[in-house]
Structure 1
Amino acid sequence: MEIAINDYGVGAAVATDLVNTSPTVRGAAGEALLGPDALAAFLGEHDLRPDAVAGGRALTEDDLFQVVLLRREVRAIVETETEEQAVAGAAVLAGRAGLVPVLRRDADGGWQWYVPTAPDAPLADELAALIGIGLFGVVRALGHERFRACAAPDCRGVFVDISRAGRRRYCMPELCGNRLNVANHRARRMGSVAR
């Protein structure tokens, strides 16, 4: 796998989405990564084609177990209190499979930085490198304050805000934001009915 250094948003988005597959975040919906097929779907949703699954190798229960462990590591980094802690955690992730950066021409002929992953690296290590490099990019370009807890009162989710304006409030806007909007709407209706 080659990880483009200039597109940190990919790794940051994978970090956020991976953390939010946890039953800790999803509550009653439970675990999102229930088996190797769910993990394959997760990779597909992010258009990821790690070398570890090249050639049609099927994902295994061990791949799933290792990615679930990675999910815990990523959450811990997103919850760090300082930039230095976030950078140190991202360095550990990037070092799991990331090799020295290379400069290579892209499809348009321009020079781009890439971090290749080690040959035969396990899936979780390739994902760790992608996420680590993404988190490096966020700290450098946007700042550590973009690592946030979900603003929904009943949610334990965390996320990395890579939005242009930096005003994202919810780990899963379509779920947490909608849930809060519905609750606020109901409270307003109950208030107007009581009058």
Structure 2
Amino acid sequence: MIIPIAGYPAGATVASDLVATSPTVRGAAGEGLPSPGALAEFLAGHGLVLDAPPPDAAALREVHLLRRETRGVIETETEEQAVAGAMVLAGRAGRSPVLRRDDDGAWQWRVPTAPGAPLAAELAAVIGIGLLGAVRALGHGRFRACAAPGCRGVFVDVSRAGRRAYCTPDRCGNRVNVALHRARLRGAAR
């Protein structure tokens, strides 16, 4: 697999979305990656075509461990801690960066992964490069905890405006907006 360094938003999004699959974040909904098939769907949903074999139970366990590590990097207190953690992830399967031409002939930095690297190691490299790029381009202030009451999610805000507040806007954001709407209706009815 070849990971484009300029494509850091995709890697940072994978990091955020992977953390959001945790039962810690999902609460009553439970485990978001309960099977190798669910992991395969997660990877496909992010357009990730890894060199590793298709997910099996062992790969799923390793990705669950990677999810904890990823959360730890996003929750760091300082930029230096985030960079150190992301470099560990990137180094799991990543090799030295290379400069290659893209389809338009422009030079682009890319990080190849080691041949035969396990799925979790390749995914760690994608996430590590994404988190490093996010720190460099956007700053550590974009590594955030979800603003929804009771949610334990964390994410990296790679949006242009930098105002994202929820780990999963379609779940946490909707829940907060519905609660606010209902409160307004109760207030208007009085």
Q: TM-score range by the shorter chain?
A: over 0.9
In the TM superposition, residue 143 of structure 1 has moved relative to its aligned partner by 0.2
Query: 1:73-92, CA deviations, whole angstroms, 9 ceiling, x for partnerless residues?
Result: 00000000000000000010
* Pairing 1:165–2:161 present: yes
In the TM superposition, residue 192 of structure 1 has moved relative to its aligned partner by 2.0
Of 89, 97, 118, 2:93 maps to 97
2:28 corresponds in structure 1 to 28
Query: 1:109-159, CA deviations, whole angstroms, 9 ceiling, x for partnerless residues?
Result: 111111000010000000101110111111111000000000001211000
Q: Which runs of 5+ in 1 are unaligned?
A: none
- State the secondary structure of the residue aligned to 1:68: helix
Q: In the aligned structure 1, how far is the partner of 2:127 from the partner of 2:116? A: 18
Tell me which moved more, 104-113 or 41-50: 104-113
In the TM superposition, residue 7 of structure 1 has moved relative to its aligned partner by 1.1
- State the secondary structure of the residue aligned to 2:94: coil
Query: 1:29-48, CA deviations, whole angstroms, 9 ceiling, x for partnerless residues?
Result: 11010100000000000010
In the TM superposition, residue 191 of structure 1 has moved relative to its aligned partner by 1.8
Q: How does 1:1-195 map to 2 (within 5 A)?
A: 1-53=1-53, 58-193=54-189, 195=190
The TM-score with structure 2 as length reference comes to 0.98
- State the secondary structure of the residue aligned to 1:52: coil
- State the secondary structure of the residue aligned to 2:147: coil
- State the secondary structure of the residue aligned to 2:6: coil
Q: In the aligned structure 2, how far is the partner of 1:6 from the partner of 1:36? A: 29
Q: In the aligned structure 1, how far is the partner of 2:139 from the partner of 2:170? A: 25
- State the secondary structure of the residue aligned to 1:47: coil
The TM-score with structure 1 as length reference comes to 0.96
Identical residues among aligned pairs (%): 70
Query: 1:11-55, CA deviations, whole angstroms, 9 ceiling, x for partnerless residues?
Result: 1000000000001101111101010000000000001000003xx
Q: In the aligned structure 1, how far is the partner of 2:55 from the partner of 2:149? A: 36
- State the secondary structure of the residue aligned to 2:100: strand
After superposing on structure 2, the runs of 4+ consecutive aligned residues of structure 1 that deviate more than 4 Å are none
Cα RMSD between the aligned structures?
0.7
